[in-house]
Amino acid sequence: MERSDIFRAGAMIVVFVIFLAALHVIHRRPAERPVSDAPSVSAPDDLSAELLRCAELGPQDAEDPHCQAVWKENRARFFGRPARPRLPQAAPATQPMTAVPKGGKP
């Protein structure tokens, strides 16, 4: 056997071992997670409850103004805008220093 044949056989063995290792990783079962009695972190909010109520209404009730407002609020929340309008921000307590001092020179 020549030296190149030995390297070729060694490379084929290495590729075969890598293939087997990949198969092992793919078919490995994930570790079981302990079941906790704690409630779910994501509790449904009022908007979700209203969306469910409006979704249960039939097509004849699609013109309900309350449901249209709920769907509009849901779209706003989906696209990243605040779902409900924020309260107006209070004006800063200090005024900016833009006045020119008494003397006429800045």
- The Cα–Cα gap between 61 and 9 comes to 73
> Is pLDDT above 90 for 18?
yes
Q: Quick one: tokens of 68?
A: 């249209």
Residue 70: count other Cβ atoms within 10 Å of its Cβ. Answer: 20
pLDDT at position 104 is 57
Q: What mean pLDDT do residues 55-62 have?
A: 73
Mean pLDDT taken over the chain: 75
- Alpha-helical (H) ranges within the chain are 3-27, 46-56, 65-78
Q: Quick one: tokens of 86?
A: 């924020």
